[in-house]
Amino acid sequence: MTQPRLSDEMRFIRSWLAKPLSIGAVAPSGGALARTMAGYVDPAGTAPVIELGPGTGPITKALVDHGVDPARLILLEYDPEFCAMLRQRYPTATVVQGDAYAIGKELKGVLATPAAAVVSGLPLLNQPPEMRQRLIREAFTLMAPGAPFVQFTYGPKSPIPPDFEGLSATPSHRIWMNVPPARVWVYRKAQP
């Protein structure tokens, strides 16, 4: 499955110009960043994988290329144009149009089993700390024990306090082949 990269970039830029605080970047995630994020998701199994803010789908594509069955994907996207594009490209995925910062409400009744992972392309640093913490707290209520919450950031530090509610936080190397350079953070909840 190929994606028309230039067309996607134009759609992304148009959306960013319309609502820069909700998009958070002027271009879709690059291939190196998307592959790094997907690499933290176990492609085996049948449990759902939730992607927050998939946009035009570069991380979605990386998840599928990594071996995640598209039928396992639950794509929570705010922009209706991006939702239509994702439904066309990934017809077996579940695309939910809604607010990822209300993940519990938006995915109520959608998940039959706890998620194997949450992969987030959201611009967390554009939100106040309380909103970020509420998002990650809600996300972990939807996930299987030990499942990763995978988040990228352009900032130098973790967008979630590393010691927040017993989470472990592990950073990736800096991904220089992304514009701008980014880092991936993987959060896991400590097992009781």
CATH code of the domain covering residue 139 = 3.40.50.150
Give the total number of structural domains in the chain. Answer: 1
The answer to whether residue 86 is domain-embedded is: yes
The angle that helices 58-65 and 31-38 make with each other, rounded to 10 degrees, is 50
Asked if residue 174 lies in contact with residue 181, where contact means CB atoms within 8 angstroms, the answer is yes
- Residue 114 structural domain: 5-149
* pTM for the model: 0.85
Q: For residue 159, give the nearest of 140, 178, 182 by alpha carbon.
A: 182
What is the tens place of the pLDDT at every residue in 65-108? 999 999 999 999 999 999 999 999 999 999 999 999 999 999 99
- Between vectors from CA 110 to CA 115 and to CA 184, what angle results, nearest 5°? 40
Q: Is the pLDDT of residue 162 over 90?
A: no
Predicted pLDDT of residue 163: 80
The answer to whether residue 65 is domain-embedded is: yes
